[in-house]
Every structure is written in C-alpha cells, then in structure tokens.
Amino acid sequence: MEILIKNANLISMSSKRPQIEEGVDILIEDTKIKRIDKDIKEDTEKVIDATGKVVMPGLINTHSHVPMSIFRETVDGYITQDWLEHKIWPMEDRLTSEDIYDASMLSCIEMIKTGTTTINDMYFMTDDIIKAAIDSGVRMQTTRTLMDLTGDGDTRIQELEELIKEYTNKEETISFNIGIHGFYTTNAPYIEKCVQFAKKYNLPIHIHFCENAKEREDIKNQYEVESPVELIKRYFKGMHVILAHSVKLAKEEIRELEKENVYVSHCPVSNLKLGCGVAKVMDMQEEGITVSLGTDGQGSGSNLDLFETMKFTALLQKGMEENPKNLPAYEVLKMATIDGAKTLRLEEQIGSIEEEKKADLIMIDLNEVIQKPINNIFAEIVYNVKGTNVEMTMVNGKILMENRKLLWVKEDEICKKCEKIIERISK
C-alpha cells in the first residue's frame, strides 16, 4: 500500500537533514519510507493532510515490563524490593496466559495513543506478550527474563531459544535481546551461560543495573567486588549491553563504563517514585555513553507516555546540576528517538525519518492553548506536548491510530478485562 503524507512540518531526527522542515511530503510504500520531498506528485491509495501538524519518528521506549499495566499505582510507599517481594510477585504468580495477553494489549493501546511505536520488554510468558504486540501492530524488542533464583535458569534459556527460533525472520516487528534480570538475582555461572547464549544468536544483553543503593551493595557483597562496574568488564566484554536505570554510579565508574559497549536506558519517573535517586545522565553523555529513555513498568513508572518522560529527564538534569543549559530540547528528542534505536541496535531501521527506513512515525497536533504561541518547536514538544496530542500513529507503514481513533483494537473491551484480572489476583 502507498500512503502520501502532505505538507508536514517534519522533524526527521536525521543528521543528514535540517532539524525542522516545513511543507514536506513523505511517500510511504508498504513498510518503508520511499521518498521525502516537496510537492510529491503521486497517485496513492491514501493521502494524509498534515498541514499545520508535526510529523516525527515514533518514540522508542528502551526499558519496560509490558504486562505490568495492571499494576499501575500499586507502589506508593514501598521500597523497590519490598514492593516486588511482598506485593507484585505474589500477584504475578496468579497470572494466566490470557491475563498476560490482555495486560500486554492494554500497554500496546497506551503506546499507540501516546506516540510510542517501539518498546523493549522484559517479562515472562513472553509468547503472549509477542502475540499482543503483533495483534496491535506495535514494534517490540523482547526477551524471556533470565534469572536463576529457584534453579530454573536453564529452562528459562530454553524457553527464550524457542521464541527466537519461532519469531526471528517471521515477524519483522519483533526482535530479541538476552534479558538478564540482574546480577543480584543470579550467579556467576549463570551469567556466563547467558553470555554464551547471547553470542550464539548475536543478540544484545539487557539487564537491570545499579537501580538503587541496596542492589548496589548486594552485588558488591555477592560477587566480592569493589564496584558493580567490574562485573560489566568481566562478563560482558565486547557485548552490546543495555543497562536499565544505572542510578547509583559514581563519576569514575561512569568513566570506566565508557570503555565498554554499554547503552543506558534512563527511567526517571520510576526512579523518582521508588526513591532510587536520579541517574547522572550528563556525566554519561559527556563520557560518550548513549542514553535513551524508558518508562519501566507502569507499576513503578505510572504510564508509558514518553512525552512525560522527556520532560522529567530535561528538568531533572537542569535542576540537579543547577545548570539550565543542560540537555537542550532537541537533545532530549534524540534520546527518545534515534538514541533509543541505537540502544536497541535498530538504528538502521528506525529512530529517524529517512528514505529506505521503516515507516514508524507519528503526527502531532499542536493546536491546544497550552502550546500557543510556539516560540521553540523542540522545547514545545519536550515541555508542553503530551501523549494526547498525538493524532496519528504508524508502525511499519501501517496506520494504527488516525484522528485519535484506534483502527485495529477494542480499547473498552481490553480495559474491562484488565479490571477483572486485578480484582481476581489481588484478593
């Protein structure tokens, strides 16, 4: 199918194009962007009038737990480990395969409606999460969470291997990484098994890392190291590694991490809500580490609205460092788009609007009073736009939402199912 987007204000996030271009047409053929130009003359099956609207790449969420939509606002007053061990894990034990699908579908709906087109997931019952992603149309990188607390670590690796074989080269919107839950929830021999598995399939590693002070101390005590960074250097040398959170790191540790092939997923809302602190994003970027944005699961992150995450990211780095020059708005947009693609090792496909890349893009309406007048378009998007400003969402050349209306999923039905799930498992 050919789709022509006419007269857009284009923020392509491509280093090869101007930061903002007015009156641009975008021709999409099947799953890819075929041409970007002024006044394209082409007969297409569908034409979208983008006059007065902003078209930009879909946002990329690099750390989440997709089915945790049903645990929204359950964390208030808990520290991380207590919340997991005493509240969440007991409820998760009661979840069925159907529950996981419905909860994942709720998250996919939230993504589509708030402009996120790609998400990096770490959970269990992964097959049902993948099915929800495929049915809704969103792009997903995923894993089967790997840990070995109860001696079932090898089974988890086997489950992930079966998924990789089932979906790789079959569903182009689904990709994988090796999701190790954390150093503190496994052991050295198992970490080594996971690394060998990652090398076998040439996949990135995704791991929670130094999210809070207790985790940091647990790692140091369990592995008898002076710094958790020693484990990155010891086990992941030469690997593409996605570190989720990375809040409790000193400047000298960040300097050491820069020597490794690490990418950080910054989750400011979840980190604040759990009382973990604020990651040193400026230090990471100054050392050359690519930092992208994540929401974590909605249980701790509240929602999947990456526009909200962008605002928190910018404000925290300015305020904590007492420097208003930190993180200009365009740099924050990069974190939510092309830097997210680099983090997931997908930058050749997504993250910017360029010819021959996948057509993952969103259209934003800036006609709300809160956005008037527009003095700086990039700052407007980072500080004043919300997910509800997204008018159209497209993934892989397929329109998933148009004029704020979902085209392929039934929102009311999924919401009712999820309400029943939480009523059942919380008793």
Q: Please tell me the predicted confidence (pLDDT) of residue 213.
A: 94
Determine what percent of the chain is predicted with pLDDT higher than 70.
Answer: 100
CA 19-24-30 angle, to 5 degrees, is 105
Residue 373, C-beta contacts closer than 8 angstroms, at least 6 positions apart:
none
Helix axes 306-321, 329-336, angle to 10 degrees: 130
Half-sphere exposure of 63 (CA within 13 A, CB side): 35
Query: What is the pLDDT averaged over residues 213-225?
Result: 95
Indicate the pLDDT class of residue 84, thresholds 50, 70 and 90. confident
Indicate the pLDDT class of residue 77, thresholds 50, 70 and 90. confident
Phi/psi class of residue 125: alpha, beta or left (left: φ > 0; alpha: ψ in -120 to 50)? left
pLDDT at residue 427 is higher than 90 = no
Q: Please tell me the predicted confidence (pLDDT) of residue 151.
A: 84
Phi/psi class of residue 356: alpha, beta or left (left: φ > 0; alpha: ψ in -120 to 50)? left
Query: What is the pLDDT averaged over residues 176-199?
Result: 97
Nearest by Cα to 213 from 283, 271, 297, 260: 271
Asked whether the beta carbons of 100 and 376 are under 8 A apart, the reply is: no
Q: Please tell me the predicted confidence (pLDDT) of residue 101.
A: 98
Neighbour-count burial for 9-45, b at 16+ CB within 10 Å, e otherwise? bbbbbbeebeeeeeebbbbbbebbbbebeeebeeebe
pTM of the full structure: 0.97
pLDDT in tens, 87-139: 888 899 999 999 999 999 999 999 999 999 999 999 999 999 999 999 999 99
Phi, psi of 274 (to 5 degrees): -90, 5
pLDDT in tens, 228-265: 999 999 999 999 999 999 999 999 999 999 999 999 99
Q: Please tell me the predicted confidence (pLDDT) of residue 86.
A: 83
pLDDT at residue 80 is higher than 80 = no
Indicate the pLDDT class of residue 76, thresholds 50, 70 and 90. confident
pLDDT at residue 389 is higher than 80 = yes
pLDDT at residue 81 is higher than 80 = no
pLDDT at residue 10 is higher than 80 = yes
pLDDT at residue 225 is higher than 90 = yes
Average pLDDT of the chain to the nearest whole number: 96
Which structure tokens are listed for 9? 């204000």
Indicate the pLDDT class of residue 79, thresholds 50, 70 and 90. confident
pLDDT in tens, 323-365: 999 999 999 999 999 999 999 999 999 999 999 999 999 999 9
d(CA 239, CA 245): 18
**Domains in the chain, CATH or no CATH each:** 2-57+360-406 (2.30.40.10), 59-343 (3.20.20.140)
pLDDT in tens, 291-320: 999 999 998 999 999 999 999 999 999 999
Q: Please tell me the predicted confidence (pLDDT) of residue 74.
A: 87
